Amino acid sequence: MRGHYLLSDALLGRFFDPFIFEKLPAADVRADNVYLNEVQHSDIYLGIFGKDYGSEDADGLSPTEREFDLACHENKTRLIFISSHSKTERHLKELALINKAEREVIRKKFASSSELKTAVYASMVRYLEEKDHIRTGPFDASPCINATLEDIDSEKIKEFILLAKSKRGFPLPATSDPDKILTHLNLLDNGRITNAAILLFGKQPERLFSNAEVKCAQFHGATISKPIPAYQVYKGDAFQLVNQAVDFILSRINVEVGLRNKGVDAPLEYEIPRAAIAEAIVNAVAHRDYTSNATVQVMLFRDRLEIWNPGQLPHNLTLSQLKQPHSSFPANPLIAEPLYFTGYIERLGTGILDMILLCKEAGLNEPEFKQEDVFKAIIWRSGQATGQAGGEPAGEPAGEVAEEVRRIILVIKGEMKRAEIQQLLELKHDDFFRTNYIIPALDSGCIEMKYPETPNHPNQRYRLTQKGKALIQQLKNK
């Protein structure tokens, strides 16, 4: 593929002037110097890496690697496209160059010339959008076809206002009409419901967006393989997706629950800090590409947690910059704003740095981030979770009762409300907690309701049974 492709395109030809070597007049100048000079004076470096490395100079470097290094040094926008050849087919130095590029910038694989053209076209259009040369508007701000105010859940809006008031001092009262709240949040487009409004407050967002879901899975080992101990597909609005996915992971990782020998409340410590898990998942839900048919995937392995986000970093933000103070470039700003008001995300681009710090403070290895066809966040688990210390995977039965039941009986003190127990376990989604914790604990006979004949009694409380108290004593003896 040569620069003629860009020049001949009706859109790209208006904005880009590619350097075409064949168009240069004859001159007594080294070809490699010409290329390097063009890199210095260009806005974009577009590299196509295949299986061959090319001729080497006295330092053993090819012109392509010289150009790439200069583009990096000059902080140029670098768009790298890599052929689908296997590692064994590539020259060793070409493989090393590809590995270098993968550490620095976003790259895209291609299997054919037509696929390469499509990928280049998409990247160039995206670059023009980000530089504000063309305006198409973000996906979340576009009107949602066939959606009306009837598709908005007013109760969800009220819950949002109450939480946003407590977290960020949201100015409007909970009694405000839904359309007033939506207008304040810029979620109406000339009176039409936007995509963001449905994804945040829709009664059934999955009815209009089949990809508005999060797939969660747990694997015994370090690879994606069967049998799969736990697999769930969660649907709902953005808040529900985050809460359900976080609760899924918390219920399946190791946790230490103290026995109140140093205080009233039983201390609880997850092997991965809840805030780090939530940050990774909320980033995936907030910044994903909703035009893609792919979904967010949250996968728990024996040694790590991986969150796959069908999205791309903006061209002006590299993987290395993620680990440094950086500006925030939300892919879906209208979705991000309500998540900010409710304390789910920060506005200043500090989320990744917070995640790294939380993991370090917990004694975990530093999280890793990869940009491939999807954006991947990898959080490493503690040594006990890798199988080095043996034991059963989190979430499986432990002793007489399931792990979730054990956690409940260790935090209950006296008579407690469901919400109080849920808060101690740092779980957010009510239905998830009721289904996976409260009901199994009741069925096991380890806890009981204060008003068993009236499950929905306004003063309902839960307390330990004799069986639950005996189990606590067994745990103390261990």
SS3 string, 382-413, reads CHHHHCCCCCCCCCCCECCECHHHHHHHHHCC
Q: What are the strands, taking DSSP E only, across 67-136?
A: 77-83, 107-110
For the chain, the domains span 4-130, 139-206, 213-386, 403-477
Confidence of residue 112 (pLDDT cuts 50, 70, 90): confident
Give the C-alpha separation, 427 to 191, whole Å.
36
* CATH code of domain 4-130: 3.40.50
DSSP 8-state symbol, 23:
G
pLDDT: which is higher, 396 or 457: 457
* pLDDT of 28: 47
Question: pLDDT-based confidence at 389, cuts 50/70/90?
Answer: very low
Q: What distance separates the 2 farthest-apart alpha carbons in the chain?
A: 96
Q: What is the pLDDT of residue 397?
A: 40
At 216-268, the pLDDT tens digits run 999 999 999 989 999 999 999 999 999 999 999 999 999 887 655 544 455 68
DSSP symbol at 437: I
Among 317-331, 348-362, 370-384, which is the least confidently predicted range? 317-331
What kind of fold does domain 403-477 have according to CATH? Arc Repressor Mutant, subunit A (1.10.10)
Which fold is adopted by the domain 213-386?
Answer: Heat Shock Protein 90 (3.30.565)
Angle at 159 between CA 157 and CA 165, to 5 degrees: 100
Q: pTM for the full model? A: 0.70
Higher local confidence (pLDDT), 436 or 9: 436
Residue 392 pLDDT class (50, 70, 90 cuts)? very low
Least Cα distance to 152 among 287, 338, 281, 332 occurs for 338
Phi-psi region of 116 (alpha: psi -120 to 50; beta: other; left: phi over 0): alpha
Band of pLDDT at residue 159, cut at 50, 70 and 90 = very high
- Start-to-end CA span in the chain (Å): 68
Q: Would the CATH topology of 4-130 be identical to that of 213-386?
A: no
More confident residue, 475 or 270: 270
